[in-house]
């Protein structure tokens, strides 16, 4: 029953986003609270119209992140992004949460220097929408946007970055 409810909740959520913001506002690679989601639930979200095609994952070594086993977690840390072929899902770590990040530019520089900063691997910042009213979070978001502008980077949903890189890579082969 919980899986059916998760699927219905996802459909309702996507329908409401589509209604008030349009289809271009649907992020098909979400970050789920505490990175928790049983495999059956993740599959239910994936299998819906406009279903999940990837997940933002923890940026640390914690266990219990979605369905990830030790090998997927290690590959994610090593490679910066992983495609889980068994579940047909892209996996990308989020970087520091803005409300906790003391030095945004340093965190972004560090992320860009690791596998997470390789071409085609998005660097994902995160904050809860309830924190967006906080002045320090607004300042950190502005710092992150200035950092991206100086480097010629844009902003997009993480899945859009992965797919654009895949298209560009195929065009050279």
Q: What is the value of pTM for the model shown?
A: 0.82
Over residues 20-31, the pLDDT tens digits come to 999 989 989 988
For residue 119, the model assigns a pLDDT of 66
What is the average pLDDT across 38-52?
93
Burial 50-76 (b: 16+ CB within 10 A, else e): ebbbbbbbbbeeeeebbbbeeebbebb
134 in Cβ contact with 92 (< 8 Å): no
- Section 64-93 average pLDDT: 88
- C-alpha to C-alpha distance for 86 and 89, rounded to whole angstroms: 8
In contact, 80 and 121? CB cutoff 8 Å? yes
pLDDT of residue 170: 65
Q: What is the pLDDT at residue 87?
A: 95
- C-alpha dihedral (47, 167, 92, 89), degrees to nearest 10: 20
157/48: higher pLDDT: 48
For residue 67, pLDDT beyond 80: yes
Q: Across the strands, what pairs with 55?
A: 91
Question: For the segment 91-138, what is each residue's pLDDT rounded down to a tens digit?
Answer: 988 876 778 888 888 888 888 887 655 667 788 888 888 888 999 999
> Please, what is the average pLDDT of the chain?
85
């Amino acid at each position: 029953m919980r899986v059916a409810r998760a699927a219905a909740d996802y459909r309702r959520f996507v329908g409401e986003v589509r209604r008030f913001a349009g289809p271009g506002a649907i992020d098909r690679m979400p970050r789920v609270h505490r990175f928790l989601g049983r495999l059956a639930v993740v599959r239910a979200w994936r299998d819906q119209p406009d279903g999940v095609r990837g997940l933002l994952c923890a940026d640390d070594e914690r266990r219990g992140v979605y369905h990830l086993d030790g090998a997927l977690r290690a590959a994610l840390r090593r490679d910066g992004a992983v495609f889980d072929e068994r579940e047909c899902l892209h996996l990308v770590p989020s970087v520091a949460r803005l409300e906790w990040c003391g030095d945004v530019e340093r965190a972004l520089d560090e992320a860009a220097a690791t596998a997470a900063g390789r071409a085609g691997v998005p660097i994902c910042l995160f904050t809860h929408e309830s924190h967006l009213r906080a002045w320090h979070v607004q300042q950190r978001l502005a710092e992150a946007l200035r950092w991206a502008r100086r480097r010629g980077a844009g902003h997009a949903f993480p899945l859009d970055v992965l797919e654009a890189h895949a298209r560009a890579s195929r065009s050279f082969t």
